[in-house]
Amino acid sequence: MDDITRHLVRYSGRGGFSEDVIYRAEGSTVFTSDGRALLDFTSGQMSAILGHSHPEIVATVREQVARLDHLYSGMLSRPVLDLAGRLADTLPAPLTKTMLLTTGAESNEAALRMAKLVTGKHEVVSFARSWHGMTQAAANATYSAGRAGYGPAAPGNFALPVPDRFRPDIVDADGVLDWRRQLDLGFAMIDAQSVGSLAACLVEPVLSSGGVIDLPPGYLAALRDKCRERGMLLILDEAQTGLCRTGDWYAFERDGVVPDILTLSKTLGAGLPLAAVVTSAEIEQEAYDRGFLFFTTHVNDPLPAAVGNTVLTVLARDRLDLRAGVLGERLRAGLHELAARHPVIGDVRGRGLLVGLELVDGVDGTDADRIGAAVTRRCAELGLHMNIVQLPGLGGTFRIAPPLTATDSEIDRGLDILDTALSDVTGTLLAAGGPAHRDGFRPARAVAGSGGQALP
pLDDT, tens only, 259-278:
999 999 999 999 999 999 99
Q: 279 pairs with which residues across the strands? A: 97, 261
- Name the nearest CA neighbour of 346 among 361, 332, 330: 361
CA 385 to CA 398: how far, in whole Å?
A: 11
pLDDT at position 17 is: 85
Active-site residue identified among 64, 240, 390, 453: 240
Alpha helices in 230-367 (DSSP H): 281-289, 302-317, 320-341
- Looking at the chain, the number of H-run helices and the number of E-run strands are 12, 19
Q: Which of 102-106, 172-176, 289-293, 386-390 has the lowest mean pLDDT?
A: 386-390
Q: Is 347 a catalytic residue?
A: no
The amino acid at residue 79 is P
pLDDT at position 228 is: 98
Q: Is 204 a catalytic residue?
A: yes
pLDDT at position 389 is: 77
Is a pLDDT exceeding 90 seen at residue 301? yes
Q: Is 249 a catalytic residue?
A: no
Active-site residue identified among 178, 204, 347, 358: 204
Q: 234 pairs with which residues across the strands? A: 201
Task: List the Cα angle 237/79/26 in 5-degree steps.
Answer: 70
Q: Is the Cβ–Cβ distance between 182 and 170 less than 8 Å?
A: yes
Q: 99 pairs with which residues across the strands? A: 277
Is a pLDDT exceeding 50 seen at residue 454? no
CA 11 to CA 9: how far, in whole Å?
A: 6
pLDDT at position 398 is: 95
CA 63 to CA 187: how far, in whole Å?
A: 51
Is a pLDDT exceeding 60 seen at residue 445? no
Task: List the Cα angle 37/41/47 in 5-degree steps.
Answer: 110
pLDDT at position 35 is: 92
- DSSP 8-state class, residue 253: G
pLDDT band at 12 (very low <50, low <70, confident <90, very high): confident
Which residues, 6 or more positions from 162, have their beta carbon under 8 angstroms from its beta carbon? 127, 128, 129, 207, 210, 213
Mean pLDDT of 427-433: 70
Active-site residue identified among 40, 237, 347, 410: 237
Which residues, 6 or more positions from 13, have their beta carbon under 8 angstroms from its beta carbon? 145, 146, 390
Q: Which of 135-149, 207-221, 413-427 has the lowest mean pLDDT?
A: 135-149
pLDDT band at 223 (very low <50, low <70, confident <90, very high): very high
pLDDT at position 1 is: 64
Is a pLDDT exceeding 70 seen at residue 379? yes
pLDDT, tens only, 310-339:
999 999 999 999 999 999 999 999 999 999
Is a pLDDT exceeding 50 seen at residue 448? no
pLDDT band at 77 (very low <50, low <70, confident <90, very high): very high
pLDDT at position 361 is: 83
Mean pLDDT of 367-375: 90
Q: Is 266 a catalytic residue?
A: yes
pLDDT band at 193 (very low <50, low <70, confident <90, very high): very high
Q: Mark residue 369 as left, alpha or beta (left: phi above 0; alpha: psi -120 to 50; beta: remaining).
A: alpha
pLDDT at position 363 is: 56
The amino acid at residue 21 is V
Q: Could you tell me what percent of the chain has a pLDDT over 90?
A: 80
* Whether domain 68-317 has CATH 3.40.640.10: yes
pLDDT band at 113 (very low <50, low <70, confident <90, very high): very high
pLDDT, tens only, 389-409:
766 666 689 999 999 999 999
pLDDT at position 364 is: 60
Active-site residue identified among 116, 378, 399, 442: 399
Mean pLDDT of 109-122: 98
Phi/psi at 203 (5° precision): -140, 160
**First and final C-alpha spacing in the chain:** 42
CA 228 to CA 284: how far, in whole Å?
A: 18
- Name the nearest CA neighbour of 242 among 233, 234, 256, 253: 253
Domain extent listing, the chain: 22-53+320-442, 68-317
Half-sphere exposure of 41 (CA within 13 A, CB side): 27
Active-site residue identified among 116, 266, 349, 442: 266
Mean pLDDT of 209-233: 97
| Mean pLDDT score of the chain | 92
The CATH homologous superfamily of the domain defined by 22-53+320-442: Aspartate Aminotransferase, domain 1 (3.90.1150.10)
Equal CATH topology for 22-53+320-442 and 68-317: no
Active-site residue identified among 131, 260, 349, 378: 131
More confident residue, 403 or 154: 403
pLDDT, tens only, 16-56:
788 889 999 999 999 999 999 999 999 999 999 999 999 99
